[in-house]
């Protein structure tokens, strides 16, 4: 394969994974990020079996399993205590399968440290990309406050949903969410292996996701989230914190202890979500991957996993196609159906959990919940949640990881680390 000079815009999961995979193929990779010191913003996320399959190929699955929290099921309970969502990974029928709740910082650290160790990658912080020009010599990046870059054979847009390269409106969703990472304390009433949610119709949702430990010696944490309409955020900022906490506790009384650990508004980050799909992810010497190609509400917890699959597909396309245009077409083509499917499924499911409709949550609780406990709906629901609906791995030459082996070796390493004297 020809050795390409590649520029990647964005140091998120998509950009870092693509950078690692391409540098390992022998390409010369330069990653540009706007932040003075690249790092993740926000709290936790779910790594699904799809994302774990790519991390496994990168040699990072064990670290992610060790630093994150093993999640065996997603459980949702409505305001009167009825369980209306029970999606165990066991229903996948894959030996020992699980998801991983992880702090964004832990996922970022694993990918970033691997990129720093990998020869052939340079990371340029403080480079806010504003656009790009293409001529016979290649593609250059333009920046907000500096001279254009040298020419690259290929530019990868991994700059997330606010990308400059898709001029279409961003499709901001009416509901966003407040997020906080909070320490776990002994006696907390949460199951360490569940993503738990509570709903009042679809207008209010609180959730707790165990996200493991950020470092070998830090305390385990959970990500707490509370859905909030974008237009109500300003009013929330003016509401006394204790008044808001009382409202959350009315929906989920067991949260009182956790909420007591929120003492300032600054502990909470308000995240907005955009639902959009770039109509043309492939251009001349250019491809969009991850959220820059497609973004959606995190209701199904797929974004980072889709980003990892896109990065893998791109590396495979570069290895297999003859011309650069064909390589990029192949890369996008292998992902297109799965992306389309999940964009639609997420669009359909999100209003069941985040909307002001009275009918949709009633349908969710009275029709979909009982149905989802039956065969074959239980298996379909598990496939949807895990990212495996639509069979995305086979066309990419990926297989589900060896979960039992991963879990066993991650716990062996954790035990060995905890036996070390701590400074
Ligand atoms: C609250 C919340 C919860 C989520 N939960 C989940 C979950 O449970 N599971 C899941 O899989 N996904 C989840 N997601 C989605 C997931 O975070 C994204 O899909 C994922 O981060 C996309 O990765 P990315 O690398 O494409 O983009 P990003 O992570 O957005 O990274 C983009 C990078 O590009 C840089 N950048 C942006 N613009 C420029 C520019 N002009 N110049 C240079 N650099 C630039 C940014 O600084 C950033 O480092 C969640 C998202 C949110 C907001």
* Lowest mean pLDDT across 2-6, 189-193, 279-283: 189-193
Q: Which residue CA neighbors atom 37 of ligand 1 most closely? A: 159
Q: Is 22 helix (H, G, I), strand (E, B) or coil?
A: helix
pLDDT tens figures, 272-316: 999 999 999 999 999 999 999 999 999 999 999 999 999 999 999
What is the largest distance, in Å, between two alpha-carbon atoms of the chain?
65
Q: Which residue CA neighbors atom 27 of ligand 1 most closely? A: 160
Q: How far is the CA of 134 from the centre of ligand 1 (A)?
A: 26
Q: What integer best gives the mean pLDDT of the chain? A: 94
CB neighbour list of residue 410: distance below 8 Å, 6 or more residues apart: 62, 65, 66
Q: How far is the CA of 382 from the centre of ligand 1 (A)?
A: 24
pLDDT tens figures, 228-271: 999 999 999 999 999 999 999 999 999 999 999 999 999 999 99
Question: Tokens at residue 57, please?
Answer: 């190929």
Confidence of residue 190 (pLDDT cuts 50, 70, 90): confident
The pLDDT value given to residue 234: 98
- Write down the residue that tokens 């990308």 correspond to: 163
pLDDT tens figures, 31-43: 999 999 878 878 8
CB neighbour list of residue 362: distance below 8 Å, 6 or more residues apart: none
Which DSSP category does 30 fall into? E
Question: CB within 6 Å of ligand 1 — which residues?
Answer: 9-15, 32-35, 38, 42, 45-46, 127-129, 158-160, 162, 164, 177, 179, 271, 290-292, 298, 301-305, 307
Phi, psi of 208 (to 5 degrees): -135, 120
Confidence of residue 56 (pLDDT cuts 50, 70, 90): very high
User: What is the number of residues in the chain?
Assistant: 423
User: Cα separation of 328 and 322, whole Å?
Assistant: 10
User: Cα separation of 104 and 16, whole Å?
Assistant: 13
Three-point CA angle 101, 105, 109, nearest 5°: 110
410 pLDDT more than 80:
no
pLDDT tens figures, 89-114: 999 999 899 999 999 999 999 999 99
Q: Which residue CA neighbors atom 2 of ligand 1 most closely? A: 298
Written as one string, the DSSP assignment of 307-343 is HHHHHHHHHHHHHH-SSHHHHHHHHHHHHHHHHHHHH
User: Cα separation of 332 and 334, whole Å?
Assistant: 6
Specify whether the CB–CB gap between 201 and 178 falls below 8 A. no
- Given 3.30.700.30, 3.30.9.10, 3.30.365.10, 3.30.70.1290, which CATH number is that of 175-271? 3.30.9.10
The pLDDT value given to residue 169: 85
Residue 163 CA, closest ligand 1 atom number = 38
User: Cα separation of 358 and 360, whole Å?
Assistant: 6
Give the domain ranges of the chain.
5-70+97-169+274-403, 175-271
pLDDT tens figures, 326-347: 999 999 999 999 999 999 999 9
Q: Which residue CA neighbors atom 9 of ligand 1 most closely? A: 301
The pLDDT value given to residue 421: 44
- Given 3.40.50.1820, 3.50.50.60, 3.30.70.2860, 3.10.310.10, which CATH number is that of 5-70+97-169+274-403? 3.50.50.60
Question: Tokens at residue 192, please?
Answer: 């360490």
The pLDDT value given to residue 243: 98
376 pLDDT more than 60:
yes
């Amino acid at each position: 394969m020809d050795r390409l000079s590649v520029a990647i815009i964005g140091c998120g999961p998509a950009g870092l994974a693509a950078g690692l995979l391409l540098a390992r193929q022998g390409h010369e990779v330069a990653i540009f990020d706007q932040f003075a010191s690249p790092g993740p913003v926000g709290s936790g996320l779910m790594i699904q079996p799809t994302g774990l399959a790519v991390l496994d190929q990168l040699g990072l699955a064990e670290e992610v399993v060790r630093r994150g929290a093993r999640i065996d099921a997603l459980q949702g309970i409505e305001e009167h205590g009825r369980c209306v969502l029970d999606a165990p990974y066991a229903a996948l029928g894959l030996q020992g399968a699980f998801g991983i709740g992880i702090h964004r910082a832990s996922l970022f650290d694993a990918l970033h440290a691997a990129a720093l160790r990998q020869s052939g990658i340079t990371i340029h912080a403080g480079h806010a990309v504003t656009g790009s020009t293409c001529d016979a010599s290649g593609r250059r990046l333009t920046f907000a406050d500096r001279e254009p870059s040298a020419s690259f054979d290929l530019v990868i847009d991994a700059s997330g949903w606010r990308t400059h390269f898709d001029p279409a409106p961003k499709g901001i969703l009416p509901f966003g969410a407040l997020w906080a990472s909070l320490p776990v304390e002994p006696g907390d009433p949460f199951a360490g292996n569940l993503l738990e949610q509570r709903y009042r119709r679809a207008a209010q949702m609180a959730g707790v996701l165990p996200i493991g430990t950020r470092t070998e010696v830090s305390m385990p944490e959970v990500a707490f989230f509370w859905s909030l309409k974008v237009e109500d955020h300003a009013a929330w900022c003016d509401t006394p914190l204790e008044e808001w906490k009382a409202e959350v506790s009315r929906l989920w009384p067991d949260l009182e202890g956790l909420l007591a650990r929120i003492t300032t508004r600054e502990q909470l980050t308000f995240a907005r979500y955009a639902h959009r799909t770039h109509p043309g992810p492939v251009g001349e010497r250019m491809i969009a991957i991850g959220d820059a190609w497609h973004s959606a509400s995190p209701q199904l917890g797929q974004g980072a996993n889709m980003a990892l699959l896109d990065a893998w597909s791109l590396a495979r396309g570069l290895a297999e196609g003859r011309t650069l245009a064909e390589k990029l077409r192949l890369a996008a083509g292998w992902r297109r159906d799965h992306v389309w499917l999940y964009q639609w499924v997420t669009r359909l499911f999100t209003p069941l959990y985040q909307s002001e409709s009275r009918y949709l949550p009633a349908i969710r609780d009275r029709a979909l919940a009982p149905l989802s406990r039956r065969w074959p709906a239980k298996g379909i629901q598990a496939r949807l949640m895990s990212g495996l609906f639509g069979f995305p791995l086979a066309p990419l030459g990926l297989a589900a990881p060896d979960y039992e082996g991963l879990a066993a070796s991650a716990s062996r390493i954790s035990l060995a680390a905890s036996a070390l004297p701590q400074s």
